[in-house]
Amino acid sequence: MATPMEAWVEEAARLTKPDQVVFCDGSEAENQNILQTMLNQGDSYQLNQKTYPNCYLHRSNPSDVARTEHLTFISTPQKDDVGPTNNWMDPEGAKFKVGKLLDGAMRGRIMYVVPYIMGPAGSPISKVGVEVTDSPYVVASMRIMSRMGKVATDQLGNSSDFVPGLHSIGDLDPLRRYIVHFPQERLIWSVGSGYGGNALLGKKCFALRIASYMARQQGWMAEHMLILGLESPGGRVTYMAAAFPSACGKTNLAMMVSSLQDMGYKVWTIGDDISWMKIGPDGYLRAINPEAGFFGVAPGTSMKTNPNVMAALHHNTIFTNTGMTPEFEPWWEGIGTEPPPGLITWRGEKWDPSKGVAAQPNSRYTVPAKQSPSIDPRWEAPEGVPISAFIFGGRRARLAPLVYESFNWQHGVFVGATMASETTAAATGDVGITRRDPMAMLPFCGYNMADYFQHWLEMGKKIPHPPKIFHVNWFRKGADGKFLWPGYGENVRVLKWILERVEGRGSAQETPIGYVPTRNGLTLEGLKIAPEALDELFRVDADNWATDLADSKEFFAKFGDRLPAEIRKEHEAVGKRFQQSVPA
Ligand code: SAT
Ligand code: MN
């Protein structure tokens, strides 16, 4: 008798009508086959096998280079269940409309069946998914990003407990592109895109949208968070999970080389994007990284910004839409070298300055996580690592101080819910447009975000040893429009303060928005920074906060009565604290 997985694959094949169905086992021989198929399709290149062994460059269709949020839907019977921040389709309508696009979509193609585990094999927090796809690039990428093949089939056995994902690149026409989630069925349908988060269904579709829905039902958390360990003198490692909107250096923080290494502070990486967390038997929130690789933005990645990932990228890596040198090496803006003569752009043309950038701004590397020198020895621990601190962040030129600590869990949830980031506004030093992005989950929450805030509030009551909640801002600017904080490896100084606060040490002063470090709170040894810059970094400006509170109030109003009363209360409380605080 067919297993539930086989039965579903048969159903998917009946709809999409491939010439052939291939079940993937994840072996190296199979991988070589898939890579060869990629090369034969003409959109991929083998890179320099001396300097980049087993590395490939893939070029996606120029109209298909990023996630497409306006074509991403959550499909539930009630529109209100997805809330004002998600696109909605009713399930019957979605099945009909997208079903028509999938009908026969794999004619003349191979359907690959990719069983995969999100999370370490055997972990009680891990989950199995099965993606069928007609893209060999997706298969090769899923092999890096998840535990794929036999290991997953073995874990699944005859169980029906898996998340099915049906993916076809279709004809790549953006007018016929849909990424649809059916959270009640735990089903994903994606057609018309071969790119990243649209096509590697284990990542944003399963590990965030479907998983966040399951997590609420089952009392755990699926978050858009990196996980890092901060080692302190004596060798103890304290784990923190952090959420940032895009373009805030999340991967770089997860893989940071600490500037306080000599003092005994070192950063270890568990994950750079997603965290699944369950309350452990010890009462701590236990986190795993559901992924097995990093799918990171290439431009701007260099020995200065992320030496760990640079060290990892020289073997077994798939590059997507980067430039390529005549030596068949990948190249991108900000890699740290000048554009070499004979450079080829991501579109396959000879580069010259009139062509603009050589690497597509959202070009990527896909690399096994274990290749990073910073990977934590416990990164695959089945029980997960205990999380002591949550860190929220954003890009705020004038508003948020370098770091502050929330007063308690409920206030911390409010801090996460009011997260926002300013779009990077060119050289003028202008403050950009503020885009609200609660917990960095705006495009990734599989249900109504008002209910998501409620879930956070409830988790706080259930966790015996909840993480403390912090907010950081590496991007505060002075009156001259220049960044006040050096960032990168120096950010460890902020992590050190967070660690000290977790341990009940670390000196802080109370402000209306939370606790900020006192003048001597941050370790500044070996760092050249003007006292005025520090003052500005920690200044809490009542007028700026009043403006931001008005903005977040408007955002929260979208949720109507569904918004938890606690969030409204916290919002009012900040305003009151500003009124009561005596100006210095
Ligand atoms: O393309 S992904 O969704 O995987 C990465 C991103 O856009 O955040
Ligand atoms: Mn992400």
Residue the block writes with tokens 């940032």: 244
Ligand 2 midpoint to CA 211 (Å): 15
Is 319 in contact with 395 (CB distance < 8 Å)? no
Domains 223-289+379-580 and 294-371 share a fold: no
**Hey, whose CA ends up nearest to atom 7 of ligand 1?**
67
CATH of the structural domain 223-289+379-580, one choice from 3.90.228.20, 3.40.50.620, 3.30.110.60, 3.90.105.10? 3.90.228.20
pLDDT at 1: 85
Active-site residue set: 248
Is 269 in contact with 255 (CB distance < 8 Å)? yes
Q: Best of 295, 320, 360, 365 to mutate for ligand 1, by most ligand atoms within 8 A of CB?
A: 295
Ligand 2 midpoint to CA 559 (Å): 24
**CATH fold label, 294-371:** Phosphoenolpyruvate Carboxykinase; domain 2 (2.170.8)
224 lines ligand 1 (CB under 6 A): no
How do the pLDDT tens digits run along the chain, 584 residues long?
899 999 999 999 999 999 999 999 999 999 999 999 999 999 999 999 999 999 999 999 999 999 999 999 999 999 999 999 999 999 999 999 999 999 999 999 999 999 999 999 999 999 999 999 999 999 999 999 999 999 999 999 999 999 999 999 999 999 999 999 999 999 999 999 999 999 999 999 999 999 999 999 999 999 999 999 999 999 999 999 999 998 899 999 999 999 999 999 999 999 999 999 999 999 999 999 999 999 999 999 999 999 999 999 999 999 999 999 999 999 999 999 999 999 999 999 999 999 999 999 999 999 999 999 999 999 999 999 999 999 999 999 999 999 999 999 999 999 999 999 998 754 444 557 899 999 999 999 999 999 999 999 999 999 999 999 999 999 999 999 999 999 999 999 999 999 999 999 999 999 999 999 998 999 999 999 999 999 999 999 999 999 999 999 999 999 999 999 999 999 999 999 999 986 54
pLDDT at 432: 75
Q: What CATH code is assigned to 4-42+66-219?
A: 3.40.449.10
Ligand 1 midpoint to CA 165 (Å): 17
Amino acid residing at 254 = A
197 lines ligand 1 (CB under 6 A): yes
**Hey, whose CA ends up nearest to atom 5 of ligand 1?**
197
| For ion ligand 2, residues whose CB falls within 5 Å | 273
- Which listed ligand is nearest to 293 at the C-alpha? 1
pLDDT at 426: 47
CA distances from 38 to 29, 137, 140, 344, 545 (A): 14, 6, 9, 19, 52
196 lines ligand 1 (CB under 6 A): yes
Q: Best of 144, 188, 204, 226 to mutate for ligand 1, by most ligand atoms within 8 A of CB?
A: 204
444 lines ligand 1 (CB under 6 A): no
Ligand 2 midpoint to CA 536 (Å): 30
**What is the strand order of the sheet 56-58 is part of?**
44-46, 56-58, 318-320, 364-368, 293-297
Nearest alpha-carbon partner for 362 in 435, 299, 444: 299
CA distance 177 to 572: 42
203 lines ligand 1 (CB under 6 A): yes
Write down the domain spans for the chain.
4-42+66-219, 223-289+379-580, 294-371
**Hey, whose CA ends up nearest to atom 2 of ligand 1?**
197
